Each structure stands twice: as C-alpha cells, then as structure tokens.
Amino acid sequence: MKPGEITDFVHDEAWMLDQGQYHDWLELWLPDAIYWMPLNWNQQDPINETSLLYEDNFMLRLRVERLHGARTFSQKPKSRCHHVLNRPRIEEISDDEARVVTQMHYIETRLDEQMLLALTVRHHLKRVEDRIMIAGKRVDILNCDAAFGNIQLLP
C-alpha cells in the first residue's frame, strides 16, 4: 500500500458517513471485521466487559437499514453528522495491509441539539484484490466514560 491511498481512504470513509452514503460505506467492510467503540479509557477486553459498540457485519447492516426505516422514531427528524480529521498517522504499512490512527472531531446534530466528541480512530486496512477494505476499526471517545444522551449515527 502507498501512504497516499491509505490517508485518502480514511478521509473518504469519513466523507461517506457525513454524506449519509451508508450502503456504500457497508461495502468497505470485510465479512469478519468488527467496529469497536470502548466504554472505558484504555479498555483492553471488548468481549467480557461492556463496550459502547462491538459490531459485526450483521449489526452494522441493521444499523444502516434502521436509519432508513419508516418507523424509526428517534430519526424523525433525522440526525446529521460531520467529521473533521487531523492528518492520519500510519503506524504499520506493508504491500497489502496497514494500521493507521487518526484524531478526529465528530459533531452530531438533531433538532436543536448539537454534540461534539473528540475521537481517536484506529483503522486496520487490508487490500483485497484491487480494493482497500476495513479489517477492523476502533474508535476511542475522549470522554468515553461520561454520561451521554443518544449518539445515533456512527462516529
């Protein structure tokens, strides 16, 4: 992989989320990939402790389909989101695999409310045929242990 295509990928993925291109976004995920959002700072165990998210393909698809549902009451009206990215730091890189960490500010809004979250986003990327795909994603929220209201979209 080349550094430029990795950083482009991270920016493009955030852009898809901000634009609500969720079906395209789902296509980025490898079948056994997991989206993990820890509940605790420096949490090590995603399985035997509670996390905010620890989602497989089925759950991510459910999330996307639900956002489009006719009776999704908490999305009437819909939320919007916005990511601002720092320059991604590539931590490991080889021909067909990379690990990259990116600091982001995430804004989600609905009705008169707006929320700002500071994120550290870790992507594990793999090249499959000629495409880069997500093998795993970990999103740490700076104040992950704070009491939140609804976080409805995907930081």
Q: Is 37 left (phi over 0), alpha (psi -120 to 50) or beta?
A: beta
65 lies in the binding site for another protein (CB under 8 A):
yes
Q: Which of residues 66-105 bind another protein (CB under 8 A)?
A: 66, 69, 71-75
| Minimal distance, residue 83 CB to another protein, in Å | 16
Residue 8 CA to residue 11 CA, distance in Å, equals: 5
* Contact flag: residue 39 with another protein (CB under 8 A): yes
Q: If binding is defined by CB under 8 A, does position 52 make contact with another protein?
A: yes
User: Is 47 among the residues that bind another protein (CB under 8 A)?
Assistant: yes
d(CA 145, CA 133): 30
**Angle at Cα 102 formed by Cα 59 and Cα 129, nearest 5°?**
60
5 is a contact residue toward another protein (CB under 8 A): no
- Binder among 19, 94, 114, 150 for another protein (CB under 8 A): 150
Q: Which is nearer to another protein, 70 or 130 (CB)?
A: 70
The amino acid at residue 71 is: R
Six token digits for residue 116: 């700002």
- Span from 3-11, 15-23, 56-64, 85-93 in contact with another protein (CB under 8 A): 56-64
Residue 8 structure tokens:
């482009």
